Amino acid sequence: MATTQKIGVILGSVVLVVGGLSVIFSHPKSDQLNAKKQIEAEISENLPYGSKSSTVLDYLDQKHIEHTYLPTQQTIVAIRRRTSTGFLVTGDVQIFFVFDKSGGLVSFRLQDVYTGL
């Protein structure tokens, strides 16, 4: 095989490997972003600042969202599972609710969590 053909075969193989890996590890980030926007809008609409932790817990129970209450940190940590899926990657959205000393909601934030094979 000529040197030019060998280089062509090697370059072709590299392109196939890189292309294959990009498909395997790709993740629909727009789906994850849309899910986060929807979750944030739902929380803003249903849980205004000042909401009690019991109200937040009831809301999460109604929505069947996994959660845990950390009273010493005045925080509820929740996770909405499978907000997006790729070929080998699943996206979740973790939600942190923070309360003041009187138990009123002062902030919440969302964070992407990705898991794969």
DSSP letter string, the chain: --HHHHHHHHHHHHHHHHHHHHHHT---HHHHHHHHHHHHHHHHHHS-TT-BHHHHHHHHHHTT-EEEEEGGGTEEEEEEEEEEE-SSEEEEEEEEEEE-TTSBEEEEEEEEEEEE-
Q: Is residue 42 part of a domain?
A: yes
Q: Is residue 13 part of a domain?
A: no
pTM metric for this prediction: 0.75
Query: Per the structure, how many domains does the chain have?
Result: 1
Q: Is residue 38 part of a domain?
A: yes
Give the residue-averaged pLDDT of 37-62: 97
Q: Is residue 15 part of a domain?
A: no
Q: Is residue 22 part of a domain?
A: no
Range of the domain at 81: 27-116
Q: Is residue 106 part of a domain?
A: yes
Q: pLDDT for 58-103, tens place per residue?
A: 999 999 999 999 999 999 999 999 998 887 888 999 999 999 999 9
Q: Is residue 49 part of a domain?
A: yes
